[in-house]
A and B are shown apart, each in its own frame.
Chain A
Amino acid sequence: MNNYELTLILNPDLSSKFDDFESKFSKVLADIGFETKRLENIGRRQLAYSILNHNKGHYVIYQLEGPAAGAVELETKLKYDTAVIRSLLLKVDTLSLEDSLLMIESREAKKAPEEIKVTPPKGKVAEEPKPKEDVAEDTNTTETE
């Protein structure tokens, strides 16, 4: 038995149907003798370059344990799965069972928009009076001269 880390980029249009994909895919994994130790559903993410005319992708990371023969089979199955835009199966020494940095990042990104919405009005209020004062001072100096 080996440890594997499987990263999938799924079609972003199917990202709402992820549960369907997940239940199907878990059967595939079970058929070839793979055991899912951890599943990280990272969600939609901007791609650094377009893949098959997609600019966004739904990232998922699986931590798996299974036989080497199954790994070859899994790769061929992923190759012909139209929902998967790109996949990478890595053999790893130890499975990482903590939150990956991508997961943490996506979680923070979800929180961030709310914070940004709150802050701009305060910033504008603080900034606006200053230019007016500057203008007023300038006009005063020109008048005295």
Chain B
Amino acid sequence: MSQDAKKNFNYKNIDLLKRYITETGKIIPARVSNVSAAEQRKLTKSIKIARFLALLPYTDSHR
């Protein structure tokens, strides 16, 4: 994942964010994905924004 270190975690970059959520929509922990602590904070924030804007699901069981 070292090549992702420079990548911008932004709520509009959905394809990148999708790689950091599980099939059920959970955010993958930093200890699994080897994202640095600072990057993980940005990642988490942008995933949560993307969820609010219905760009990403909160869960796989949305009715």
Contact = CB atoms under 8 A, between A and B. Distances in A.
B37 interface: no
A100 B51 CA distance: 17
Interface residues of B, number: 16
Contacts of B10: 101
Given A100-B12, A102-B12, A50 B52 contact: no
B29 to A, nearest CB: 21
A48 interface: yes
Nearest to A55: B54
Interface residues of A, number: 17
Chain B contact residues: helix, strand, loop or mixed: loop
Contacts of B13: 101
A92 to B, nearest CB: 11
Interface in A45-90: 47-51, 57, 59, 61, 86, 88, 90
Contact of B55 (A48, A50, A90): A48
Contacts of A48: 51, 54-57, 62
A48 B63 CA distance: 11
Interface of A: 7, 9, 47-51, 57, 59, 61, 86, 88, 90, 100-102, 105
